[in-house]
Amino acid sequence: MTAMPVAGAEEVRAAMEYYARQGWTDGLPVVPVTGSYLAEFLATTDRDPEEVLFALPHLDRRCTVRLAAINAAMAGCLPAYFPVVLAAWEAIGREPQLKCGVWQSTAGTAPLLVVNGPVRDRIGLNSRGDVFGSGFRANATIGRAVRLAAINVFGLRPHLLDQATQGTPARFSACIAENEEDSPWEPLHCEHGFDPADSVVTALVIRSCLHVESRHTGSPEQLALDLAGSLRRTGALVHETGSALVVLGPEHAAAFGAAGWSKDDLRRFLHDHAVNSRAELAAVGKDAVSRNGRHRLPADHPDAITDRYGLSATPHRVPALASPEAVVIAVAGADNAGVSTILETFAPHTGPLPTARIRVPA
């Protein structure tokens, strides 16, 4: 049997530098990909390597299974992660905002992947401490696989097709798993019709992450008011109304669960209390909306019209959220402090969440 040739450290480093000179990176080193290594990724799926997973028609570019595999390998994924990457692209394709130019938005949006089900343990996805941070290969590289494909397949490079004004760290990688074991409620995927034994990826478009720390109380009303106060911040109100993914730390989730609150109870409370007065909006020049885009404007702007709440019975109360359903709730993080995170999402979800089941060939 003939031994396979082994590349030396100098050759590997030269390949990495070559990739960097071609602009095939996100600024960090990438893994050089050989044909045999690519084959290991493609062996984890029975899908045709030339099947189109996702397309941006306005750019006339398409991501195939093969291209997704190349970028997953470059991102540092193990082959066992690739079914999750494929499901991520399926879920991304079901998110209306991601089918258009939001990838190029000046707001610097990024896809966030939330993973549920047994795959979390099988490949070592982090759902607990430092869930939005570093230290876990599966989380870091699965999210990075999507960003590298955005760069290398769709040409979304900063200063060129990518028009982000400041961007966000999530544009390197944004992938978390839900801490189902420490949640008082059914997991996110079961809430949306999947079986607990299913492994599922949900894709959302996020613009910002806001840290919410409330260690001082176990009162569900006080906790919910703290969250609502964060959700209604005027700096986030670009459109007529907003939406959010609220990722509760286990301690906060437990406080709501112990008090008998359901996810729907919390959603309704947040919608009803994440409210600004007309005077507060006027103070920052956001008391009206544009005639066409429904972006917030000063009332004296020539394109301004009254927002949807201006003719209501209580026109001085302006909800920051489109509806209770505009709030998606998940649980993640360690059970060691009263910390949660609000992620501002790009647009409310009026229908099913963009999800996809992770498929592993028999």
* Position 154 pLDDT exceeds 60: yes
* Position 141 pLDDT exceeds 70: yes
Q: What is the mean pLDDT of residues 229-237?
A: 92
Evaluate whether residue 289 is within a structural domain.
no
Evaluate whether residue 126 is within a structural domain.
yes
Integer Cα distance of 302 and 67 in angstroms: 47
Closest CA to 74 of 8, 153, 127, 10: 153
Structure tokens at 347: 């647009």
Instruction: Please write the tens of the pLDDT for every residue from 13-28.
Output: 999 999 999 999 999 9
Evaluate whether residue 255 is within a structural domain.
yes
Integer Cα distance of 295 and 340 in angstroms: 28
> Which domain, by its residues, includes 212?
10-274+320-357
Closest CA to 354 of 171, 200, 137: 200
Evaluate whether residue 310 is within a structural domain.
no
Integer Cα distance of 171 and 243 in angstroms: 20
Evaluate whether residue 314 is within a structural domain.
no
The structural domain count of the chain equals 1
Evaluate whether residue 193 is within a structural domain.
yes
Q: What is the pLDDT of residue 50?
A: 98
Evaluate whether residue 42 is within a structural domain.
yes
Evaluate whether residue 257 is within a structural domain.
yes
Q: Of 96-100, 155-159, 214-218, 254-258, which range is least confident? A: 96-100
